[in-house]
Amino acid sequence: MRIRGGYAALYSAAVVFAFTSLFVKLASRRYSGLFVSASRFAIGALLCVVVLAFGYRSLKPARPLFVALRGAFGAVSMAASYAAISLTGPGRAALLCNTYPLFVALFGVLFFGERFRPRVLASIALCTCGAMLVMRDGSGANPAGDLLALGSALAAGVAINFLRKATQDDNPFMLYLSPCLFGLPLFFFAGPGGGAELAVGGGAGILFLLGAGLLAFLAQALMALGYRSVQAGKGSVVFYLETVLTVILGLLFANETFNPRCIAGLALISGGLVLNQLRPRPSS
């Protein structure tokens, strides 16, 4: 039952992350990718401090090293993914960023002592083939955005493993506060800053920034809750659902397009998700 609840939290996080990516793309039409990233970190840090101060009455992590490493790698991954979305589109960036289950599984086996079952390998292979089909759709997207998205996936592979370790002792809000604090220095590189930067986007831009920050906060909390009972390698495959939803949202609201190769890729991703959720029948 606990594992089932963990998967429910992870799938919920995947849905919320998809809407977060859409808000990031809409905000990036009015602000730089760095400013969107920094704003998301600032909103997340503020919300985490409020919850920790009033709900947990402590700002001290139980496992400081794991929380700090989760924060450092997580901040790099999040910032790179936001920049990738601003340079390409929410669907394409999500496809590349969400190849991170490969790195989660690889680093989990090499450094964290996790087992790698054949069924998980097969589901990752299906999802990754699907993602590559969509990526190679002939759209001529910005290669810098693609490289940033892949860098985000690599950093996330490390961060998720540290998240999985730290979540056994620390609450989800502590685990999200860490990358938010590491990400705040982005404000120094994001442009003029302050009210001058906010005024560029107007009321709609501020609304998109707030939406991205609030949704990211909720998604990160759900993800940390889910990883309390689900292995990092297996749980990370769930977030290919985020890819599917992000592509659909990009089609509907961000002027992205589908073609036959994209549809085939989405079908492979969906098959990998189904395979990941299959459970072997108990032997009689």
Summary mean pLDDT of the chain:
82
Residue of 57, 80, 64 lying closest to 183 (CA atoms):
80
- Parse the chain into domains and list their residue ranges: 2-277
Q: What is the pTM of this model?
A: 0.79
Q: What are the tokens at 213?
A: 């920050």
The alpha carbon of 85 is separated from its chain's Cα centroid by a whole number of angstroms, namely 12
Q: DSSP string spanning 169-231?
A: TS-HHHHHHHHHHHHGGGGGGSSS-HHHHHHHHHHHHHHHHHHHHHHHHHHHHHHHHHTTTS-
Q: pLDDT band at 284, cuts 50/70/90? A: very low
Each residue's pLDDT tens digit, 192-234? 555 556 667 788 889 999 999 999 999 988 988 888 888 776 7
Dist. CA 151–CA 170, nearest whole Å? 27
Each residue's pLDDT tens digit, 22-70? 998 899 888 887 888 899 999 999 999 999 888 887 778 888 999 999 9
Each residue's pLDDT tens digit, 148-199? 988 998 999 899 888 888 887 888 889 899 999 999 998 887 765 555 566 6
